[in-house]
C-alpha cells in the first residue's frame, strides 16, 4: 500500500469535494496505521511522522474540515499498533485529548498486542470513556469482537454501549474469495449479530488498510469483476455496513464511480430505520437476502454464487418476503442494481423470476 502522507490526504480531500463523493454522503477521510513517529514526544504524546506529515495532524484536519469533510485517525488498544508504532495502552486519556485537540472526528481503534482478553476489554471501555470526556463528537470504530472471537463469544450488548461500529471478521481483500467468506461468516452468525445493529452501533464486515482508506469497499481496484463489485455494493447495503472506500480516487474508473456513488443503493444502506439485513434462504447456488426498510419497504438481494457458465434464473414467491407482509396485498418492485429498472406492481401471491449473472447480485426495492 502507499504510505500515508499529508499530500495524499489533501489530494483525496480535494477529490472527495470536487468529484461528488461528499454530495452523496461520503464524509470521513480516514488515516490508517503507520501515520505516527516511532516514539512519543517528550510529554508522552503521540506525534505524526515528521517527514510524511510535516505540518501536523491539526493542520490536515483544518484542511479536511475546510472542504466540509471529517478526518479519521488510527490507534491501538495495546502497547504497539499492528505495524509496530506506539499504541495507546496506559495513555487512553492523553491520546483521546490529543486527537480531540487536533480536531479528529473518528478513531479506528485496533486490537493488536493487547495482552489478555481482560486488558483488551478494559482498553476498549477506557478509550470510549476517554473520548466522551473530551467533549468532542468522535465516532468510535472498534475491533473488539474480532480479537475476542477466537476465544469467546462477544457480548454485543456491551460492545454497542461503548462503540459506534465494530469489526467481526478478517480484513477484506481485493478478491472474490474474501467477499464470499465475509458473506458466509455473516449469514452463519446472523442470529447473534443482526439484532444488535441499529442507529449508533453497527456491524462492520470490515475495514482493512488495503490501499488507502479504512470498510472496505474494494470496488475500483483490480481484484473484482464488475458483477462481483455489484455484489459487494449490494450486499454491504443490505448488511447496513458502514461504507468506507479503500481505493485511490485519482484513478477510479467511471463505472466504479457510478456504482459507489449510486444514490439508490446508498439510500438503502443509510435507511433511517437502521435494521440490518439477513439471509432468508439458500437454494443450490442462489441466496436470497432481505433488509427491512422504513415505510414498510424491503431491500431484497438475489445473489448467484455459481462461478461458471452464464446468467441463471431464480424464481421465488413474494410471500417469502417480510414474513409474508412485504407484498400484502400488493407491492411495487424497483430494480436498483445492476441497473435501475421499474418492475411495476405485483400481488401478494405472485412470483418473481430474476436473472442473475455468475457471482453477481440483483438488488431490488420492494
Those residues with Cβ within 8 angstroms of residue 207's Cβ, 6 or more apart along the chain or in another chain: 108, 141, 167, 171, 172, 214, 215, 216, 242, 244
Residues 293-330 have pLDDT tens digits of: 999 999 999 999 999 999 999 999 999 999 999 999 99
Label residue 173 left, alpha or beta by phi (over 0 means left) and psi (-120 to 50 means alpha): beta
Catalytic residue among 110, 174, 204, 271: 110
Is 171 assigned a catalytic role? yes
Identify the band that residue 224 occupies on the pLDDT scale cut at 50, 70 and 90. Answer: confident
Task: Locate 75 and state its grid cell.
Answer: 490507534
Q: Is the pTM of this model over 0.85?
A: yes
**Distance separating alpha carbons of residues 217 and 182, to the nearest angstrom:** 12
How many angstroms separate the CA atoms of 45 and 162, rounded? 24
HSE, CB side, 13 Å, CA atoms: give it for residue 207: 29
Can you give the pLDDT at residue 246? Answer: 86
CA–CA distances in Å: residue 133 to residues 4, 73, 91: 29, 18, 14
Question: Which domains are seen in the chain, by residue range?
Answer: 6-270 (3.20.20.70), 278-365 (2.60.40.1180)
Q: In Å, what is the CA distance from 209 to each residue of 15, 41, 88, 193? A: 20, 26, 19, 24
In this model, does residue 341 exceed pLDDT 60? yes
Q: How confident is the model at residue 247 (pLDDT cuts 50, 70, 90)?
A: confident
Radius of gyration of the chain from its Cα atoms, rounded to whole angstroms:
21
Reported as a pLDDT band with limits 50, 70 and 90, residue 217 is low
Active-site residue, from 171, 184, 227, 248: 171
Q: pLDDT value at position 213?
A: 30
Alpha carbon distance 206, 26 (integer Å): 17
Residue 340 has what DSSP assignment?
A: -
Is it the case that residue 173 has pLDDT exceeding 90?
Answer: no
Please provide the average confidence, as pLDDT, over all residues in the chain. 92
Listed range (137-141, 203-207, 288-292) with the worst mean pLDDT: 203-207
Which H or E element spans position 335?
Answer: strand 330-337
Query: What is the Cα–Cα distance from 306 to 285, expressed in whole angstroms?
Result: 6
CA distances for 186 relative to 119, 193, 217, angstroms: 27, 8, 16
**Looking at residues 153-182, what average pLDDT do you find?**
89
Supply the DSSP symbol for 4.
Answer: P
Give which of 303, 313, 312 is closest to 362, Cα–Cα: 303
292 sits in which H/E element: strand 286-292
Residue 256 DSSP SS3 = helix
Amino acid at each position: 500500500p502507499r504510505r500515508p502522507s499529508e499530500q495524499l490526504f489533501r489530494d483525496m480531500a480535494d477529490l472527495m469535494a470536487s468529484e461528488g463523493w461528499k454530495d452523496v454522503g461520503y464524509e470521513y477521510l480516514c488515516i490508517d496505521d503507520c501515520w505516527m513517529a516511532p516514539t512519543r514526544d517528550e510529554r508522552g504524546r503521540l506525534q505524526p511522522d515528521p517527514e510524511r506529515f510535516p505540518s501536523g495532524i491539526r493542520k490536515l484536519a483544518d484542511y479536511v474540515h475546510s472542504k466540509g469533510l471529517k478526518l479519521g485517525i488510527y490507534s491501538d488498544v495495546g502497547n504497539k499498533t499492528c505495524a509496530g508504532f506506539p499504541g495507546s495502552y496506559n495513555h487512553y486519556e492523553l491520546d483521546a485529548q490529543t486527537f480531540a485537540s487536533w480536531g479528529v472526528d473518528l478513531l479506528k481503534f485496533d486490537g493488536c498486542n493487547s495482552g489478555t482478553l481482560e486488558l483488551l476489554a478494559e482498553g476498549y471501555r477506557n478509550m470510549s470513556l476517554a473520548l466522551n470526556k473530551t467533549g468532542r463528537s468522535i465516532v468510535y470504530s472498534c475491533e473488539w469482537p474480532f480479537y475476542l472471537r477466537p476465544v469467546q463469544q462477544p457480548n454485543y450488548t456491551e460492545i454497542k454501549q461503548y462503540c459506534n461500529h465494530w469489526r467481526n471478521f478478517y480484513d477484506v481483500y481485493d478478491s472474490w474469495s474474501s467477499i464470499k467468506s465475509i458473506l458466509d461468516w455473516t449469514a452463519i452468525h446472523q442470529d447473534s449479530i443482526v439484532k444488535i445493529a441499529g442507529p449508533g452501533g453497527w456491524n462492520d464486515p470490515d475495514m482493512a488498510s488495503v490501499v488507502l482508506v479504512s470498510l472496505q469497499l474494494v470496488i475500483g481496484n483490480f481484484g473484482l469483476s464488475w458483477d462481483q463489485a455489484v455484489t459487494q455494493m449490494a450486499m454491504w447495503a443490505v448488511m447496513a455496513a458502514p461504507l468506507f472506500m479503500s481505493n485511490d480516487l485519482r484513478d477510479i474508473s467511471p463505472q466504479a464511480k457510478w456504482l459507489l456513488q449510486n444514490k439508490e443503493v446508498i439510500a438503502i444502506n443509510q435507511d433511517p430505520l437502521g435494521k440490518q439485513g439477513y439471509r432468508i434462504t439458500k437454494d443450490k447456488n442462489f441466496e436470497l437476502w432481505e433488509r427491512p426498510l422504513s415505510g414498510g419497504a424491503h431491500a431484497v438481494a438475489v445473489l448467484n454464487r455459481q462461478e461458471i457458465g452464464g446468467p441463471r434464473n431464480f424464481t421465488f414467491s413474494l410471500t417469502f418476503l417480510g414474513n409474508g407482509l412485504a407484498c400484502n396485498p400488493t407491492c411495487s418492485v424497483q430494480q436498483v442494481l445492476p441497473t435501475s429498472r421499474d418492475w411495476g406492481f405485483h400481488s401478494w401471491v405472485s412470483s418473481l423470476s430474476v436473472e442473475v449473472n455468475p457471482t453477481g447480485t440483483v438488488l431490488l426495492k420492494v
